[in-house]
């Protein structure tokens, strides 16, 4: 049984931990507001750009002269999985859920006879993928020195992906990130980004719009918009990840704070019982000694 000094030391240690988790919870809550606003403000732009892309793509006949980002390579043998994680921990299952979704997709593709490569963004989650697929990591994009990954990082990632695509390193690219729903819910999401898929909803409604004439032609506009569309998708994913990370961190730190409080309560009860037992033992010894005299 632990001594009174050991119990008191444990209580003080847990109290110190509780102060840290409470502080991190408050910091995450403050950052969450800003990150959530940024993610929500980016969604209408991405949705509208997707509608424009769908409208244009529906008017273009895909051929050898079509932009490669839209037409593809003509094969789907090599798949590149772009896994976007954070650089920090203490955010619950945020990173592990993204990695789990990517690993499941990789296993499914390999079962179909496809070749799978990885492009990793952020430090967290690398260990699992390195252990499961040690020879299949194509590139790792480091965001350690960036406080809040934004459009500049999305642009760099997009340029590197396009360069790899043009070199024939892969045929299809999928992006994995966490879509922010609420502070309690972050949904792991996987979507194809290369070749750029035609947004179905926009393509379906494109024929209902008024007749539009484009100058220059649709294919030239698409060639200019496709790289921007790719950057927008990556930028949106980084913003969704940032909001999801803060939401997951706030929830995890809140749970940790509550658990620390419960542990403090249990240790305090145990300390009081041990202290009372020690006092009772001393009284019994004093009384027994007095009676012996």
Catalytic residues: 91
The CA–CA distances, whole Å, from 182 to 19, 124, 170, 237, 247 equal: 25, 22, 35, 15, 7
108, 100 in Cβ contact below 8 A?
A: no
Give the helix/strand (H/E) hosting 7. Answer: helix 4-57
Can you say whether the dihedral through the CA atoms of 105, 107, 113, 116 is positive or negative?
positive
247, 239 in Cβ contact below 8 A?
A: no
- Of 159, 171, 161, nearest to 139 (Cα)? 161
57, 138 in Cβ contact below 8 A?
A: no
């Amino acid at each position: 049984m632990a001594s009174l000094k050991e119990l008191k030391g444990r209580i003080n240690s847990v109290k110190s931990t509780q102060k840290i988790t409470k502080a991190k919870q408050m910091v995450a809550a403050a950052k969450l507001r800003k990150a959530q606003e940024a993610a929500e403000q980016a969604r209408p732009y991405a949705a509208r750009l997707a509608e424009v892309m769908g409208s244009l793509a529906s008017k273009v006949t895909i051929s050898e002269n079509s932009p490669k980002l839209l037409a593809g390579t003509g094969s789907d043998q090599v798949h590149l999985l772009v896994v976007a994680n954070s650089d920090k921990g203490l955010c619950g299952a945020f990173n592990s859920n993204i990695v789990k979704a990517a690993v499941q997709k990789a296993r499914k593709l390999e079962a179909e006879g496809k070749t799978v490569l990885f492009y990793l963004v952020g430090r967290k989650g690398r260990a699992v993928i390195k252990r499961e697929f040690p020879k299949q990591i194509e590139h790792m994009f480091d965001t350690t020195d960036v406080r809040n990954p934004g459009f500049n990082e999305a642009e760099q990632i997009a340029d590197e992906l396009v360069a790899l695509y043009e070199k024939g390193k892969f045929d299809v690219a999928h992006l994995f990130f966490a879509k922010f729903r609420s502070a309690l819910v972050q949904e792991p999401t996987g979507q194809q980004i290369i070749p750029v898929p035609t947004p179905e909803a926009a393509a379906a409604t494109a024929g209902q719009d008024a007749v539009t004439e484009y100058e220059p032609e649709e294919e030239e506009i698409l060639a200019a918009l496709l790289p921007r569309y790719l950057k927008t998708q990556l930028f949106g994913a980084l913003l969704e990840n940032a909001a999801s990370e803060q939401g997951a961190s706030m929830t995890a730190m809140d749970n940790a704070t509550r658990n620390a409080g419960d542990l403090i309560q249990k240790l305090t009860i145990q300390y009081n019982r041990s202290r009372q037992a020690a006092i009772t033992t001393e009284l019994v010894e004093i009384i027994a000694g007095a009676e012996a005299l």
